[in-house]
Structure 1
Amino acid sequence: MRIIKLTMNAFMTYKDFTVVDFENMLDHGLYLISGPTGSGKTTLFDAITFALYGEASGSHRHVSYFRSDFADTKDETYVELTFELHQHIYTIKRSPTYYREGYKTPKNANAYLDDGEHMIEGVKEVNAKIKELLGVDVHQFKQIVMIAQGEFTKLIYASSEERERVLRHVFHSESLVVFENLLKEQVKTYKDQFLLSSQALSSRFSMLQLDSAFMEMHQQEFHPSYIQEATLENEKLHDQLQHYQTSYQNAKTSYDQFANLYYQKQQQNLQLSELQQITQQYQTLQNQEKMMASLKHDLDQVTAIKDHQSLLDQYQQIKLSYKQALNQKQKVHKQLETSQKQFEQLEREYQQLEKEKQQKDQLLLDIDNTKQSLEKYQQYHQLLQQYQNQYKQYQSMQNDYQNLQSRYEKLDNRIQRDQENVNRLPRLELELEQNEKNVKDINKKRVMIHELSQFYDEWKSLEDHHYDLSVNYQKKHQKYEDILVKYRHEDELFRRQQAGILASHLKENEPCPVCGSTHHPHLAQLETSVLSSHELENLSQQVEVLNQQQQEAYQEVFQQNEFVQQMKTRIEMLKKQLDIQEELSKEVFIRLLSDIVQVIDEQEKTYQTKYNDVIYLKKIQKNLKQDHLLLQQQNQYLQDMQNQIIDKEKQLSLLHQQYTQLQEEYHLSNEQDISVLLKQQQIQFQQLDQHIHDIENQYHQCQKDISVYTHQLETFSSQIDDLESKQQAYTQRYQAFIDQYFDSEEQFLDYQKRQQSIFNQEKDYQNYIIQKEALGKQKQLLEEKTKDYHMTDLSLEKQQLDALAQKRDETYTQYHETLHVYKQNQETLDQLDKDYHKNQDIFEKYTLYQDLYDYTSGKNPLRMSFERYVLSAYFEQILEFANIELLKMTQGRFALYRKKDVKGVKQQGLDLSVLDYETGMMRDIQSLSGGESFKAALSLALGLSSMIQNYAGGIELNTLFIDEGFGTLDHESIDQALSVLMDLKNDHKTIGIISHVDELKERIDTQIIVEKGQQGSSLHIERG
């Protein structure tokens, strides 16, 4: 990612619209952001991080602070960032949630991302797209790109636990913690299940209903053997159950036999009692016979009324219709008389309408004349308005013509001035080319000095190694000489021992097997301590091995001497090429490199100045062609505008002539007076027209009403005649019905009133008939069935039956209670067996998860959790990258290492120590000085940045920002730190530094100067 431009508005300390153009600083690669404390230097980093991720660069600033305290109510707070990624240009604009004075609700946060082809809107959508594009989240971005104020040494001084939290955010190892917690939850779950299961086994066993002595013996914690013992005890209960079953069967048989005889006698007694009761009920019904006959007569009367109800209804309807027709005829007759009187009045008004119609026609002519006068006035007013508008356009064209003529003259003057500057371009390009050649030559010389310095260091190292090899050879050679002397001595002793053995077997006057002499005056003597032949052979092999070792050591010394001579030759050649006469040393190299760097700085400054001039003149040269074209276009525009002005003058003259002629011809007055007159005439016309229309409508409507009422009167008269004949016919039928069924009309009307109450008694009559018939049949059947029965006293037999039933029930209860206990015990035992197997399955899972949790949570020989074990591997790779930079900054003195064995019981794996190569001792990280701590922190931050980029894979983040931290460094340390940063710059990285250190201001050419004012911060860019 390459940042091109940052735009801020009403953002934190920057009230005004502020633009930082990073495009012009990319050629320099390294720039400084300086300014007083609190001026808003870190705000630039906050703005970049907020634009990308919606957060601040550090951990101490919150999004709620992003709204500038100096901002006006109408000022919009936003940050816009333009950056290049994978050769694509992206622009992201983001605004936070903030409150404004005078508004109750806050302005919601929003974000937009434009890639030139598509626009993405929405905070969540943009956040997801940025994560996809950059390949890192905000925590990783801060570690790779933003080394924020207050967090620079956070990782270097952090405890093992704090360092774990930092690395967890960076490498997203939260899933491993989740995995560990899942194991912990599983352990707790299975432990709880096991305890509950064990308690359930004891509880279920206590539910057994067995002998009390047996249960007392098994009150302790449940044991699997209890199931088998309880099963045997329950079998004893089964044997007892068989005896109870036999007793119950005998008692039940005795009861059933006696109960059959008893219930036969009881049934006879019940039937005799029933007969007596039915006889009484039947006699009661016989007494109600007269009353029921009267009810039957009433029912017949109301039934006749019900059957002739249609006739009665029609009779009443005809009477009602006849009465209504008479009433309607009288009403219509009155309406007809009223309409005739109204018609006489309307007829007189209708005859006067002709005169009013003539007034209406005259008004219509007057309205047409008034409208024509109004149209002429509007035409005059329109021409006058056109004239005024055209005149304004004419004045505007005059002004535009003068402005364009002024710009034309300025452009012509600027083209002449730029052409004079462009004429200097060839000479500057030659000077720039020569300056570039000088810089390359000096850089080549610097590379050769660096190469010579490396050769010199290698030569010193080779000489030291040669000395070590020589010493090693001397030791091995001496060891070889010593063991060779020993071997020769032991070999001599062995030979003498062989002679002594031979001499011990010689006898005087017998020939020697060696020399043949028979006289032996000096016999060889046997040695007391002599090596065996095997031991002598081993000693001989040792001699050969040491001889081989000393020969190999000699060859190493010889080869090393060759290397030393070759390196010395190369050094002499480079010295000759560089024209170095003095003896080489570290001080000589430092002085030569310092001189070279000074010359390079001067040449680069000169080169940059000329380069900027050339770039500027080339831009001017490129723009000159466009300026010439623009000059021609403006000249053409001037001519066109002059012609347009002439045409406009002609149009004005014509319009003035037209509206003057209208005014003189019609003597036009005020438009308002004409409009008022027209409105009055139109109102008068409408009123007169409405009056004529109303009279005509009322006249014709009254005629229609008289015709309608006359027709209705005739119709009602005809209906009354018809209804009168029908009423006579239905009156005769009605009277005939009364005469047939009733003694008088009053009796009919009485029955008609009581009709519903009589019908309500019909059910009682029906029930009486049915009940009487049913009781008669039951009485006859019982009399036939009980003719041979007699009543029996069953009190003594009832006592005997109750005794037998009690004995049956007691044996039944005893048998079934025992059976229930036996079955319940058996079910409990079966369930106990199942529960015990489930309990064992749970216990196996519990122990399995407990072992896994112990191992992943750090209860293992390494004393490391699973997450820390993974993070320690990442940490090792981070330290590898960090040590590359730290060795450069400390000239090979310090290197960072992960402690692999920390005393105590706490977890380990992420503790940090530092190796001091000067003392060869491992030191605690806290023992570093301020400057050394800064170097270690910077290298660790750079190492973490490199590691994350490799970890993320394929991401392109070529920008680094460092906020503070250089104040603890001395002059040499600043050189070393800048050297590392310059190497990063040469790797196509852009590096921004916030610092108050004056030396950095002198060493870094490109600077963003931030200034603090009463109304917020402002900034400008300076280039050295």
Structure 2
Amino acid sequence: MRPEKLTISAFGPYADKTEIDFSKLGEGGLYLITGDTGAGKTTIFDAITFALYGRASGEVRESAMFRSKYAKDFTETFVELVFSYQGKTYHVRRSPEYMAPKKRGTGQTLRKAEAQLIYPDERQPVTKAKDVTAAVEQLLGLSYDQFTQIAMIAQGDFQKLLLAGTLQRGEIFRQIFHTGLYQQLQIKLRDAAISRYKEYDEMRRSIAQYLDGVKFQPDAGMEEEEFSRLKKAKFEGKLERSLELLKLFIDRGELREKELQKQEKELEEKLRTMETMLNLSAQKRSLEEKRALALEQLEKILSELAKASEEAEKYKDADKRCEELGLLIREKQEKLKKYQDLEQLQEERREIERQLGNCQTQKEKIIRQEEQQQKEMEQLKTEREQLGNSELDLQKALTEKEKQTRRKRELNGLIAEIRRFRGLYDETKEQQKKYQSAYRDAQQQREYYQQIFHIFLDAQAGLLARELKDEMPCPVCGSLSHPHPRMLSEEQTVDQKTLDNEKSRLDKMEKDSVDQSLQAGSLKEQSNASWRQIVASAEELLEEFQEFHKKNKNGNGQAEDFLTVWKQLTSMVNRAQEQCEDLLTESEKEIRKAQENTKRKKTVENAMERLEKEKEELQEKKNFFDREQAGLSMKASENQKQQQNAAEEIRQIRLETEKDKSCKADSTKSEALKAGKEDLEKEIREKQQEYGELKENSKKVKETLQRFQSEKERIASSIETFEAQKKEIGEIPEAEIREQHAQTAARKADLTEKRKELFSVQSGNQDIFQKVQKGREEMTTAEKEYAWIRNLSDTANGKLNGKAKIELETYIQMAYFDRILRRANLRLMTMSSGQYELKRQEQSKNQKEKAGLDLNVIDHYNGTERSVKTLSGGESFQASLSLALGLSDEIQASAGGIRLDSMFVDEGFGSLDEESLEQALKALNSLADGRRLVGIISHVSELKERIDNKIIVTKQCGGEGVGSSIRIQ
């Protein structure tokens, strides 16, 4: 925003109408506003602020104080400001509420506040004070507070931005950088946390009822105290920990149970040990009885042992005779084996012949199976050739179905678009009717307003003419004569209120007409766009429509009869849908047929593969039987040779005996072989029987002798063992052990009772744990979600324990603030010769108050960091000016199109020394940079010498009147 021209009338110290043409100050740079104290330097800023926002630049002056006390009674109080913004010029005029003399009669009347904003385009002017203020805020993007703190830093408000706290800066930044959405997010997160808590709390209370029944062991310790605290807090947010503690109690109970069981087991071991000792005492008495019995048995065994020794003497040569009989039996068994081998060879020959016959039978069977397979294979090959194109047919049918399905979907979409268009078309027609009606009403109201406006003007002229007197100048033309004054009509009069009401009604009706027109235009555009889309889709989908549409277009390429085209298109689409349905049905039939053929072809191919595999298996079997037949033939030949050899060996055996010789002439070969075998078998049986009887009797005698010797040794050993066991057992205090046994049994019973009590507690806790576990997943999910949302809400709303109270919106604003400080420090470091640097306060002194936007200053001369409130007057001025300039830069860089082409600084330079003043002017010159006007109010004489452009305000107290005047130098 750049002021071009300011007109002040009866405002503050300015009694008359005063104009300031800012264009004379150039396009950019510094200019000085100087003059007498109280002359009205600050009032210039007040007038600009009042023109824009209806308020002064400072809080000291109120709008009721704007009426100049030096002005004449009939001088009107107002401010007019012509300003440019983004290349366009705007005109704003505003007058405050003040008391003025009545136009008729004596006394004073209240003049109400008025305002008007004129736009550079055809928009209607804004006339109401509040509406003008709202329009200015919307245009500039700045509220009154932001404007006064950023663009127009008024006297007394200079340090506001510097000394503001987090809360005040947050309000400023919210409007400038539009961070209110983050505040809304904070509120939504807080509400979500409350909602989640209600859901979670309902589940928690249900589960807490179960957890209230948990019982503890006497040695629960710190965990019991923790669980009791959780119980008092209703286990809020600590379900997982509560279950962990309950599981810990259960686990400890199990360990306690195991410990009690271990102690019981130890006592049982002691009891068993005592019982063992008592048993040993009984065994000792039993051993004495057994020893006496063993001595009696030993005497009897010695007598029997003497008799057995005599009997054993008779069989002392039995082993030698058994050896001779065994050798003879083996020789005859070897001869008998020759006969057996020959019989086995004959049996093997018969088996070989049987196997050869079986092989031949199997080979003939395989040959028949091969012939049958060949016939089946030929049939399957023929069928496969007939089904050869089934996959291609299936793919074609699927492609056709997909094509028709896509076309059906496109046609359905076209039908839906046609229905939508029809609705838009009808709605457009209806809206056009509404617009035409609203336009007619507005025209009628405009004609009526013009009529009564002329009546009003005539009435005003009549009222003015009624006051005219000869030799008195006319307030309009200044003439002293009034030959034809306007006569006031008594019949037709219109007051200001009626005129304003009709004007308001006209504005409302014109606005309604414009709104109806815009809405009709929008609907028309939507309707046309929809129709163009329909035509494009129809021409792409329907060749019939493409030809039809070409024939029905006029010279501009548009359809002549819209409804005819629409009805014809609907008919074409319906026919296309029916055709598409028929083609889809035919595609389904083709797909089913192709699928059946493809399935049958796969079956045939599988059968052919199976036959090929079976053919290979049959060939393998045939080859196997060929090899088997060849092997059996070789075995038969070998068997024949072995039989001949065996027969020759048997003949030699027969020649060895006289009996064989005598039988040679009278018996056949087979009978001779049979007789020789039977004689050998008989001799072997006889010798074996003799050998067995001798061996058995000798064995019995030896076993009897051995048994009596063993029994003797056993009884003697038992007697020695009894003596050793008695010695080993020693003396046992049986009475004392029985007393200890009773005490240990009592302790064991006590432990058993404790274990039962523990089991009861464990059972109850286990039951509670299982019941809680049933709803644990849902409860845990709700708890985690609540904890997560609450933590997120606390984080966003700055409520984390032990943390500074920094809200999400403040955190976002901190980023803007840091960028502002970087820009501000570029100037502050220059103005303070590198001594001071502004820094956002990172640690809040009070975690209960909102933090994050508080400000400190770093003194690089002594390396300290302190609050900006500790700066001196001149230092505060430098810091405030730097911060204001930095904020201005940041706003123009990032605040959505806000453009500030001027800035005003009111006082503060008087507190600076010469060097600081030089640095401040250098910073302001860099800010102006030839493109921005920076106005400075100051009494400092050095500034008058350094700044060429000046607005000089002079207080007048002479004969020409009282008040202030302005001139530009």
Task: Give your verdict on TM over 0.5.
Answer: no
Q: If the TM-score is normalised by the length of the shorter chain, which range does it land in? A: 0.3 to 0.5
Q: Compute the TM-score of the two structures, normalised by the length of structure 2.
A: 0.37
